Amino acid sequence: MYLTSINNEKVKFWEKLKQKKYRDMYHLFLIEDEHLIAEALKYKIIKEVITIDENVKYDIDTYYVNDKIMKKISSQVSGAHVIAVASTLKEREIKGNILVLDNLQDPGNLGTIIRSAVAFNFDTLILSDTSVDLYNPKVVRASEGMMFHLNIKRCNIIDFLQNLDSEYLIIGTDVVKGKNIKDLKFNKCALVIGNEGSGISKEVKELCHEMVYIPMNENCESLNASVSASILMYEVNHD
């Protein structure tokens, strides 16, 4: 179908999906890159495709629009070539290792952590309800399509950790003191990474069974949060 007016109701609806409140309301989000759309197609979550290019053909309802409409919908100043409207992800049963993010704010960090979690065979990502939105366009882009492979749940992490099966060792991270993760023995773990500036909140720290830290040069106060998370998941995966 061809759309030419930026006042079309469809266009207005798509534009709303740039805001978290409407993504939450309609359980839909936008995917802005053909490589990511290809990944999402495997999970059958794409509802509609919007493109400026008549040569783009998917076996899904496709809307052909002009540059002006595309720029209105896209999160990128120069617009996108193709955008897909996709259903937000379904939660699955939790089976393996869990990464818990306590108030993580940077969308690039979240996307990077999602890639590493898939790489290092983590089963589930628990995102505190204070963290950056999973469907933020920068997160979707930085995750490089890996968000579709992971079981991701957004919730109150204090409730979540309090009700977690006792077979899980809850491991917190600290920049100055703690054990070396190589010295911990566990069957399954819930690894908690804190906020970029302030680390893990006091309430969450109290729920951790062990604290770990990554040994580093004294000139360095801390690592980037996505790097800390990735190194610890890498170690858990190689145990």
Residue 97: closest CA among 11, 184, 215: 184
Q: How many residues bind its own copies (CB under 8 A)?
A: 28
Closer to its own copies by Cβ: residue 27 or 42: 42
Closer to its own copies by Cβ: residue 162 or 217: 217
With contacts defined by CB under 8 A, name the span among 8-16, 24-32, 68-76, 215-223 that binds its own copies. Answer: 215-223
- 115: contact with its own copies by CB under 8 A: yes
Shortest Å distance, C-beta 113 to its own copies = 9
With contacts defined by CB under 8 A, name the span among 5-13, 80-88, 113-121, 128-136 that binds its own copies. Answer: 113-121
- 11: contact with its own copies by CB under 8 A: no
Burial class (CB in 10 A: 0-12, 13-18, 19+), 26: middle
Give the span between the Cα atoms of 46 and 38, in whole angstroms.
Answer: 10
Residue 15: closest CA among 68, 81, 55: 68
Shortest Å distance, C-beta 148 to its own copies = 9
Q: Which of 108, 130, 174, 210 binds its own copies (CB under 8 A)?
A: 108
The amino acid present at 142, given as its one-letter code, is A
- Distance in Å from the first CA to the final CA of the chain: 53
Closer to its own copies by Cβ: residue 167 or 218: 218
- 236: contact with its own copies by CB under 8 A: no
Give the span between the Cα atoms of 184 and 236, in whole angstroms.
Answer: 10
Give the span between the Cα atoms of 89 and 139, in whole angstroms.
Answer: 14
- The answer to whether residues 220 and 182 touch, using CB atoms and an 8 Å cutoff, is no
- 227: contact with its own copies by CB under 8 A: yes
**Which residues are at the interface with its own copies (CB under 8 A)?**
108, 112, 115-116, 118-121, 142, 144, 146, 149, 214-217, 219-224, 226-227, 230-231, 234, 238
